[in-house]
Amino acid sequence: MRTRTTVYESPDTITHADGYYALGICGDLFRWVRYPTNDLNGSFKEYTFVKTIDDIVTPNYYRRSADGEIINNPYTKTETYWHRQAIDWYGKFSQVGWYYCPAQSIGYTAGSFRVGNVPPDPFLTTQFLALPTLNTQAVIDQAVTGAFAKAGEQDVQGLVILAEGNKTIKSFISIGKRLLKIGRALRKWDVGNLSKQFSAKELADRWMEGRYAIRPVVYDMCDVVKALKRNRDKTPLRQTYRSGASDSCTASQVVMTHQNPGYYEVYGMKVSSRIFSARTGVLAAIDALTEATIWGLDQPFTAMWELVPFSFVVDWFFNVGKTIASWSPKAGLRTLASWVTVHDTVSQAIYLDHGVSTYNPPYNTKWDGTYTLSGGFVNNIIKTTSRQPNPNLPILPTFSVKLDAAKLLDLVIMGKRFFK
């Protein structure tokens, strides 16, 4: 195992000196008066990048791989980014009253100051918002199960077509009779009969019929054509089956990140996000290709699940069908290697939101002050890419909601039928 590390930092270090200057009256002239701001001291690099790679050195990798040897080693790459932007701080204030100056007590009229390139860390800190919970193992399990399930796919679900043949024929006969009724009603302009055929209940029934009666038959016909056209004489010796899954989460919160008691408060937006994805590959050797495999006659367990009423609804929430397919025996197919590649991106940032002036000295009852804070953020991004060889195939299905607008409508229609 070897480790390689690359470090890059922005060439210039941004530094803020101690103190700022305010324009006011002290004595009989306007002049700049220096005030300490020790809490704003500091320096920082605007960009920092560190990349670390852990892998295994394989001598003569390209030659051995070209000769057919399977090299399946673990690999990890971590990239860490830091990006800081300085705060541009501008303050403006005025008062009517008396202010004590070492020389004398005088009438104080106005003042203003501007501070640029203030380091963001003292204002925003690096105490990031905690990441929301994300089940990364479930994402990996879904990807692994999907790849092994694809390795057992056939051109045609022959057993399912045979088992549902009688139901399919009756369904198409019913569709034909209904079309004849609509045609007669249109010819006679029978409004009453037409209104029944196009009622809300009938439209809902036709929607479900189209999605779960007509559409599967069309797909089956396409699969049969593909199986008939398959070249039996030209079969690849090896094939890679791939699948993937992903999940993400984000959270945000506005909090007070810094304060100078009695003078000002700074508020920031904390944002945390995570994007996690897994890609799985299964390399298999095709030892034999039979007609039973092409026509789906060697996958009885997968067919049995497909024939269970509303099994497709269960698969919208749990990958039961793919889990069964992944564990089903695969005639003529021999697994040579498998791997899962994980991409994990974590981003945590604190952005300047606004500043509030709280300065109100006891000797002055007519103070009016504003603080304008712009720019300024601290952002940390960690990208991790890792490859794990030969991952374990999950035994139990995993929970994953896969719904779109059409499936939500299906659930509403089925729910009304079930609870009526």
The mean pLDDT of the chain is 79
The tens digit of pLDDT for each residue in 237-283 reads: 888 999 999 999 999 999 888 777 766 777 889 999 999 999 999 99
Pick the residue with more confidence: 256 or 359? 256
Arithmetic mean of pLDDT, 64-72: 87
CB 134 within 8 A of CB 249: yes
pLDDT range class, residue 153, cuts 50, 70, 90: confident
Say if residue 236 is in the same domain as residue 378.
yes
Pick the residue with more confidence: 92 or 276? 276
Pick the residue with more confidence: 30 or 294? 294
- Nearest CA among 303, 165, 150, 156 for reference residue 226: 156
d(CA 146, CA 3): 32
**What pLDDT is recorded for position 245?**
95
**What pLDDT is recorded for position 369?**
53
Say if residue 265 is in the same domain as residue 128.
yes
Say if residue 272 is in the same domain as residue 362.
yes
Q: Which of 229, 253, 288 is the last residue of a domain?
A: 229
Inform me whether the pLDDT recorded for 338 exceeds 50.
Answer: yes
Where would I find the beta strands (DSSP E) of 101-143? 105-118
Please give the tally of structural domains in the chain. 2
**What pLDDT is recorded for position 20?**
42
Arithmetic mean of pLDDT, 95-102: 43
Name the most confidently modeled range: 78-87, 98-107, 380-389. 380-389
Question: How many Cα atoms are found within 13 Å in the side-chain-facing hemisphere of 392?
Answer: 5
> What percent of the chain has pLDDT above 90?
27
Arithmetic mean of pLDDT, 174-196: 76
Inform me whether the pLDDT recorded for 137 exceeds 90.
Answer: yes
Give the count of beta carbons closer than 10 Å to the beta carbon of residue 100: 11
Say if residue 192 is in the same domain as residue 238.
no
Amino acid at 83: H
Say if residue 250 is in the same domain as residue 320.
yes
Inform me whether the pLDDT recorded for 333 exceeds 50.
Answer: yes
pLDDT range class, residue 229, cuts 50, 70, 90: confident
Say if residue 361 is in the same domain as residue 257.
yes
- Nearest CA among 47, 40, 45 for reference residue 124: 40
**What pLDDT is recorded for position 89?**
62
**What pLDDT is recorded for position 366?**
44
Question: Whole-prediction pTM value?
Answer: 0.80
Say if residue 263 is in the same domain as residue 394.
yes
d(CA 171, CA 209): 9
**What pLDDT is recorded for position 199?**
78
Arithmetic mean of pLDDT, 335-341: 94
**What pLDDT is recorded for position 370?**
55
**What pLDDT is recorded for position 138?**
94
Say if residue 238 is in the same domain as residue 224.
no
pLDDT range class, residue 364, cuts 50, 70, 90: very low
- Domain containing 165: what range? 156-229
Say if residue 261 is in the same domain as residue 140.
yes
Say if residue 258 is in the same domain as residue 317.
yes
Q: What tokens were used for 56? A: 């295994």
pLDDT range class, residue 12, cuts 50, 70, 90: low
CB 133 within 8 A of CB 276: no
Say if residue 336 is in the same domain as residue 239.
yes
Q: Which of 166, 198, 229 is the last residue of a domain?
A: 229
Say if residue 168 is in the same domain as residue 132.
no
**What pLDDT is recorded for position 212?**
86
Inform me whether the pLDDT recorded for 109 exceeds 60.
Answer: no
Q: What is the DSSP letter of 40?
A: G
Name the most confidently modeled range: 193-202, 210-219, 359-368. 210-219
56-95 in b/e form (b: 16+ CB < 10 A) is eeeeeeeeeeeeeeeeeeeebebbbbbbbbbbbbebebeb
Inform me whether the pLDDT recorded for 35 exceeds 60.
Answer: no
Q: Which of 229, 257, 288 is the last residue of a domain?
A: 229
Inform me whether the pLDDT recorded for 144 exceeds 90.
Answer: yes
Q: What tokens were used for 275? A: 């994007």
CB 318 within 8 A of CB 397: yes
d(CA 73, CA 80): 23
Arithmetic mean of pLDDT, 331-341: 91
State residue 319 phi and psi, 5-degree precision. -85, 60
Inform me whether the pLDDT recorded for 324 exceeds 80.
Answer: yes
Question: How many Cα atoms are found within 13 Å in the side-chain-facing hemisphere of 175?
Answer: 14
**What pLDDT is recorded for position 322?**
93
**What pLDDT is recorded for position 85?**
81
- Nearest CA among 156, 352, 349, 344 for reference residue 252: 349
